[in-house]
Amino acid sequence: MIEIRWHARGGQGAVTASKILASAVIREGKYAQSNPDYGAERSGAPLRAYNRVSEKPITLHCMVLNPDIVVVVDPTLLKAVPFLEGTDENAILVINTDKTPQEVREKYGIKGRKIYTVDATKIAMEELKRPLMNVPMLGALVKVLNGLVDIKTVEEDIKKAFGKKISENALAANVRALYRAYEEVQSE
């Protein structure tokens, strides 16, 4: 079982991204959960969302305290929230930043852990023309999950989730953002 914690701000679509991931995993015949950490919802306020992904049934119905993977959707949260909380040195970090993994490691004094970075804000601004980093971060995460879920299944779930709500052009831009981050995510 892999446990994932998302850090984002209200309105950035992290809860939706976490739902899309769970949905894709389940549709591939595996098991997954997506649990938002509902508080008083305010646009711009830091929030957390969780995923569990497994080949076997998952019976846990509690918060993820010791995530294997931490996804930071908004780079300003690196200074604002304890994003390493509950992680050990084997944890994987997937961070939206214009910096390299080495630069992030030095800047925040991170020991151990595997750091991946992707400039999801740039991808979002170029493809979606808006700072919606959830889909590119999902693309980066899928790459990090290393075959656990097929990017094509995730693409289908994005179309399912957004299909009726946004224009064909916006949908195509989301799909491009997904694949760009999937390709552009870098590790040390």
Binding site for other proteins (CB under 8 A): 19, 22-23, 26-27, 29, 31-36, 38, 57-63, 65
Closest CA to 117 of 90, 144, 156: 144
Q: What's the min distance (Å) between Cβ of 125 and other proteins?
A: 29
In the bound state with other proteins, the residue whose beta carbon lies nearer, of 12 and 35, is: 35
In the bound state with other proteins, the residue whose beta carbon lies nearer, of 59 and 169, is: 59
Q: What's the min distance (Å) between Cβ of 42 and other proteins?
A: 15
Q: What's the min distance (Å) between Cβ of 75 and other proteins?
A: 27
Q: What's the min distance (Å) between Cβ of 104 and other proteins?
A: 29
Spatial contact of 52 and 180, defined as CB atoms under 8 Å apart: no
Q: What's the min distance (Å) between Cβ of 31 and other proteins?
A: 5
In the bound state with other proteins, the residue whose beta carbon lies nearer, of 66 and 76, is: 66
In the bound state with other proteins, the residue whose beta carbon lies nearer, of 23 and 117, is: 23
d(CA 94, CA 104) in angstroms, rounded, equals 11
In the bound state with other proteins, the residue whose beta carbon lies nearer, of 57 and 82, is: 57
**CA-based radius of gyration for the chain:** 15
